[in-house]
């Protein structure tokens, strides 16, 4: 097999230093070492592009040549796609894991020698062992810093960051970073929450101040209105959208997928009962699902409807809530809340039925598929764009044709 022509040798040597360092540290911190290594690789690519922009065709050939040379040396998994992602990672997270830390460590690691080895000069073999301390020192330095969105966190893997990079707004990206860490989401759950537009659904009823709190602190539950989102996405039940669907079948599907349902409901929900019977003078009424909210310290009653919400449904829920407040609520419990899940609702009718200022009964639509841009994003993002305009991502001077990230 013909070996690739060795071009871009200095950046290739520096990337080899980074990968060797990450490999040596991987036994102690696999995910974090990979994230830091990929950030450093992206940084080297961007810096080399900027340094080489006067050379005709340099930027266009850098990543293909680098990929070929790494493959020839046995570095698997660093094809052109991954190297482009590393580049995008650095551009999206320019302060990750902290430019000041990188520069400080360069000074510590023989100052000018490491700067010479890791920037625009070839890395002599004698300097590579000395550079192996770079990645573990960066990780330890970052762990000592107070974390905030936009910085490295050990709980986020490379797969997490690959998903986060697709978000066009740094505010929305910060929200998902916070929630991923606080809720201990795996990468697959982060993907699902992003596809279901969790941020947009939570942000829908908030003003600008509430929206900024959501972006900087994640979902905070302080009032009943903070708990519920509209719509709820329950694609995990595997049921078709059909007018023949009965409420008992929907309830059974939700209970069978209780863990996913609790994740979709959000923070603080603890399941207590299904088909809870209330007896009033010999008449029996049944609450579909009963939860206790561990943050608000209150019962939450859920009624399932496989049709459009009516004012009679609200009256029925009012009965359930009043009963729980008078018969089940104990000292220390907050007012009981009611949530009606339905396929559609007349918001004007709901508003007039409940009256102004009520904070006890809520309704949310549910849908059996993850929303597409056409389904949900268009209606919500019109509001968000006015409140959270997207911040343009920095672009490298050496590659003006960098593709735009998509949601």
At 303, is the secondary structure helix, strand, or coil?
strand
Distances (CA, A) of 222 to 215, 270, 272, 293, 363: 16, 17, 22, 12, 19
Give 66-104 pLDDT, tens digit per residue.
889 888 888 888 899 999 999 999 888 877 554 455 555
User: What pTM did the predictor assign?
Assistant: 0.66
Q: Bridge partners of 333?
A: none
Q: Which two tokens stand for residue 112?
A: 């000018």
Burial track 167-183 (b if 16+ CB lie within 10 A, e otherwise):
bebbbbbbbbbbbbbeb
Query: So what's the pLDDT on residue 405?
Result: 45
Look at 29 and 97; give whichever has higher pLDDT.
29
DSSP 8-state secondary structure symbol assigned to residue 337: E
Give 95-142 pLDDT, tens digit per residue.
755 445 555 555 554 444 433 333 433 344 333 333 345 566 666 655
- pLDDT-above-70 percentage for the chain: 70
The whole-angstrom separation of Cα 167 and Cα 198 is 13
The whole-angstrom separation of Cα 244 and Cα 26 is 54
Residue whose entry in the numeric block shows the structure tokens 């998902």: 176
The whole-angstrom separation of Cα 160 and Cα 178 is 12
Confidence of residue 23 (pLDDT cuts 50, 70, 90): low
Say if residue 56's pLDDT is above 70. Answer: no
pLDDT, mean over the chain = 76
Q: Are 227 and 221 in contact (CB under 8 A)?
A: yes
């Amino acid at each position: 097999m013909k070996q690739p022509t060795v071009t871009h040798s200095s950046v290739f040597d520096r990337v080899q230093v980074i990968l060797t360092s990450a490999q040596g540290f991987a036994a102690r911190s696999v995910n974090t070492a990979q994230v830091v290594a990929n950030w450093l690789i992206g940084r080297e690519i961007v810096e080399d592009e900027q340094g080489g922009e006067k050379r005709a065709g340099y930027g266009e050939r850098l990543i293909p040549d680098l990929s070929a040379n790494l493959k020839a040396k046995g570095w698997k998994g660093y094809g052109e796609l991954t190297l482009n992602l590393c580049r995008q990672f650095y551009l999206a997270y320019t302060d990750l894991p902290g430019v000041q830390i990188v520069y400080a460590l360069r000074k510590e690691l023989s100052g000018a020698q490491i700067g010479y080895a890791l920037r625009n000069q070839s890395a002599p073999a004698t300097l590579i062992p000395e550079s192996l301390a770079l990645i573990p020192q960066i990780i330890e330095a970052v762990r000592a810093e107070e974390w905030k969105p936009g910085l490295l966190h050990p709980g986020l893997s490379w797969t997490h960051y690959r998903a986060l990079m697709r978000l066009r707004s740094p505010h929305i990206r910060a929200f998902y970073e916070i929630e991923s860490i606080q809720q201990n989401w795996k990468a697959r759950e982060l993907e699902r929450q992003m596809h279901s537009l969790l941020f947009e659904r939570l942000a829908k009823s908030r003003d600008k101040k509430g929206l900024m709190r959501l972006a900087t602190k994640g979902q905070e539950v302080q009032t009943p209105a903070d708990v519920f989102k509209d719509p709820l996405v329950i694609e995990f039940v595997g049921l078709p959208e059909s007018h023949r669907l009965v409420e008992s079948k929907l309830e059974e599907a939700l209970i069978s997928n209780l863990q996913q349902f609790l994740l979709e409901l959000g923070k603080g929900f603890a399941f207590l009962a299904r088909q809870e019977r209330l007896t009033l003078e010999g008449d029996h009424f049944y609450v579909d699902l009963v939860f206790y909210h561990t943050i608000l310290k209150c019962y939450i009653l859920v009624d399932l409807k496989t049709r459009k919400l009516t004012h009679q449904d609200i009256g029925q829920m009012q009965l359930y809530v009043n009963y729980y407040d008078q018969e089940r609520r104990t000292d220390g419990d907050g007012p009981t809340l009611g949530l009606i899940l339905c396929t559609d609702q007349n918001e004007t009718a709901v508003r007039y039925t409940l009256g102004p200022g009520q904070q006890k009964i809520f309704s949310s639509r549910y849908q059996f598929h993850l929303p597409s841009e056409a389904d949900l994003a268009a209606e919500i993002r019109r509001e968000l764009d006015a409140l959270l305009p997207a911040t343009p991502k920095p672009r490298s001077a050496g590659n003006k044709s960098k593709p735009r990230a998509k949601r």
